[in-house]
Structure 1
Amino acid sequence: MLNFGIREVGIDLGTANTLLVLQNKGIIMREPSMVAVDGGNGEVIAVGRDAYEMNGRTSGGIKVSYPMRWGVIADHEKAIVMIARFLKEITKTVGNLKRKIFVISVPIGITSVEKRAIIEAAKRVGARETLTIEEPLAAAIGANLPVWEPEGLMVVDIGGGTTEMAVISSNGIAVSQSLKNAGQAMDRVVAEYILKNYELKIGSRTAEQLKIRLGTAYGLIDGKREETMEIGGNDLMTGRPKTIEITGLDVEKALEETVAGIINGVRRTLEVTPPELAADLHDRGIVLTGGGSLLHGLDKKMAEEIKVPVILAENPMDCVALGTERAMRNLDSLRLASS
């Protein structure tokens, strides 16, 4: 077993995925934020990827769920078990992590009760001290943006449960907004569209696969509307298994309202941004991060409607985690912001 003398552990505790980072080591774990529970005795039998693989494929006696909802802890006990098992797994490589400093990314506008729940969960798995950093700020740092400069920059982080958008200047958030239009909402509306238009009931995993493979906000690019995918589900009328072919145009139509909600949220945020900072954004542009930002054509559609340049960050799914790791280098600033 190796020990790198690590003091800090960073956790991007997302609704859909949890990423763990270590001081000066970067991302060392990426797992779905899921738990599988035995319905008989309530025991957690799997977490992360193992639980994800069980989702929709188990008997009624096993229940798979996300203990996080909209970026905060929804099921305290399951969240603690999940985090503890993730940490136990990485100790095989880095040694004992008890009594370490935890730095955890949190959504904008988190309540004091929700924040205490995260800190208590960290304490119960061995944290000596727990500090928090707001997700858009972490995303901006992870995207290598100059957050310390006294000029405006904007990040839109589209995660699993929430879309966090913020105008940042001088290492602080000047204007922000959080929406529940995000990755899981996209999956849900895709499933609802298939049910309504094709009378086929599909699971969340199939809906997610459709979003990833065919999803588009601007299907004119690269002929995305014409791409197809065969999916299976239960016929609503007969209850029997059935397969159908879905096009990119179907998924584009399904996602229209959710995409419009995100773009309107960006527009509202810009409307309340101080003029001096807003002027900076016309030069710097808006940076997209998070897994939802990978939706085909979203950057181009947003730029076209907002009339501001929009840039997709490099490795957008990792920005919050990488920013959390880099923020560890200045713990005093985090302590001041967390107080």
Structure 2
Amino acid sequence: MAVDIGIDLGTASVLVYVKGKGVVLKEPSVVAFDRDTNVIKAIGEEARLMLGRTPGNIVAVRPLRQGVISDYTVTEKMIKYFVQKSLGRRTFKKPRISICVPSGVTEVEKKAVEEATFAAGAREVHLIEEPVAAAIGAGIDISKPCGNMIVDIGGGTADIAVISLGGTVVNTSIKIAGDDFDEAIVRYMRKKHNLLIGERTAEDIKIKIGTTYPLVEEETMEVRGRNLVTGLPKTVTITSSETEEALREATSQIVEAVIGVLERTPPELSADILDRGIVLTGGGAMLRGLEELIEEKTGINTMTAEDPMKVVAIGTGQFVEFMSGRKDF
């Protein structure tokens, strides 16, 4: 039996959807390898735990940067590993793989993804734009002639698109997303508290108390890092309103991009969007206060899809079935 697989190849994590089983695998897109021998030590969650904690000869890298392949051979090995892990057994027939790319990628970048997937053992490869996959996964019927607006905030890129009749009408892709939120927190801690923290600590802060809209009740968290003045370890208590200040610049760029897409949307579709609202998907959409912020700035009802992390992977997997349905149409 040939298998249909959908892969959400993200900057931060890779999700694999197998037809008939749903999302079977969700792991960080991190690979750790030995620099001296070029042997891969760990892939996925195991490698993520090594980020910033490895000896000199072992490097933990993210082979994808801002939704684009930055290290081709490592990406190919990573896709191969995840495909084999999700299938669990050796199949005689190579799988059909649909894989998603950010909406703003160039032909060269698309070719790189396609070739890496073929090299990882695919029989057929379909490339899908992330917003289209997100819309299918969120349960929106995109084959109808009415406008739906999707804001997909991943780890490396935020894709904003208006979709109608199975394709994108207006779209934009900006390289501001989850990773930039982390970096903004690292910068803020350094500037405001003279504290140097790593990527993983910044991500913890973002998940636990991060917000982009003032909360009714302040939340606090203890953060440990290195004091830049004395060079010694130090603990600082920070509040959720500080994270709002730290994230303000990055989130306002996303809101501006949303407004930019709305300005270019044909009037008929604008009316549909006002009626149906904006749907947020992707891991970045789980940041608190984002719905309220976009709603306040645009005046359009905004909601987050159910299980936003998995939406793109589910949509990518269902796209093959959707397309085979379209052929009859």
Shorter-chain TM band: over 0.9
Q: Write the distance in 1 (CA, Å) between the matches of 2:197 and 2:56.
A: 17
1:268 corresponding residue in structure 2: 260
1:24 CA displacement? 2.0
- Cα-to-partner distance string for 1:145-204 (whole Å, 9 max, x where unaligned): 121111111000000000001000111100000011100000000000000111111000
Unaligned runs of 5+ in 1: none
SS in 2 for 1:10: strand
1:111 corresponding residue in structure 2: 106
2:283 corresponding residue in structure 1: 291
2:41 corresponding residue in structure 1: 45
2:124 corresponding residue in structure 1: 129
- Cα-to-partner distance string for 1:214-237 (whole Å, 9 max, x where unaligned): 1101123x41xx211111111111
Unaligned runs of 5+ in 2: none
- Amino acid in the other structure paired with 2:109: E
Q: Write the distance in 2 (CA, Å) between the matches of 1:189 and 1:257.
A: 8
Q: Write the distance in 1 (CA, Å) between the matches of 2:308 and 2:63.
A: 23
- Does the CA-based 8 Å contact 1:68-1:74 persist in structure 2? yes
- Does the CA-based 8 Å contact 1:191-1:202 persist in structure 2? yes
- The structure-2 alpha-carbon separation of the partners of 1:211 and 1:97, relative to structure 1 and needing over 3 Å to count, comes to farther
- Amino acid in the other structure paired with 2:302: V
1:325 corresponding residue in structure 2: 317
- Does the CA-based 8 Å contact 1:156-1:286 persist in structure 2? yes
Aligned residues: 327
- Amino acid in the other structure paired with 2:313: A
- The structure-2 alpha-carbon separation of the partners of 1:282 and 1:97, relative to structure 1 and needing over 3 Å to count, comes to farther
- Does the CA-based 8 Å contact 2:6-2:18 persist in structure 1? yes
Which moves more between the two structures, 20-29 or 81-90?
81-90
1:256 CA displacement? 0.3
1:86 corresponding residue in structure 2: 82
2:144 corresponding residue in structure 1: 149
- The structure-2 alpha-carbon separation of the partners of 1:207 and 1:97, relative to structure 1 and needing over 3 Å to count, comes to farther
1:330 CA displacement? 3.4
- Amino acid in the other structure paired with 1:86: F
- Does the CA-based 8 Å contact 1:132-1:334 persist in structure 2? no
Q: Write the distance in 2 (CA, Å) between the matches of 1:88 and 1:20.
A: 11
SS in 2 for 1:54: coil
- Does the CA-based 8 Å contact 1:6-1:23 persist in structure 2? no
Give the 5 Å matches for 1:1-339. Answer: 5-92=1-88, 94-96=89-91, 99-220=94-215, 222-223=216-217, 226-332=218-324
Which moves more between the two structures, 24-33 or 57-66?
57-66
Q: Write the distance in 2 (CA, Å) between the matches of 1:52 and 1:141.
A: 30
- The structure-2 alpha-carbon separation of the partners of 1:237 and 1:97, relative to structure 1 and needing over 3 Å to count, comes to farther
Q: Write the distance in 2 (CA, Å) between the matches of 1:37 and 1:238.
A: 33
- Does the CA-based 8 Å contact 2:84-2:90 persist in structure 1? no
Runs of 4+ in structure 1 deviating by more than 3 angstroms, as ranges, are 330-335
SS in 1 for 2:292: helix
- Cα-to-partner distance string for 1:250-294 (whole Å, 9 max, x where unaligned): 111100001101001000000000011011111100000011111
- Cα-to-partner distance string for 1:32-69 (whole Å, 9 max, x where unaligned): 00011212223221110010011122222221111011
Q: TM-score, normalised by structure 2?
A: 0.96
- Does the CA-based 8 Å contact 2:2-2:93 persist in structure 1? no
Q: Write the distance in 1 (CA, Å) between the matches of 2:263 and 2:169.
A: 13
SS in 1 for 2:156: coil
- The structure-2 alpha-carbon separation of the partners of 1:279 and 1:127, relative to structure 1 and needing over 3 Å to count, comes to same
Q: Percent same amino acid at aligned positions?
A: 45
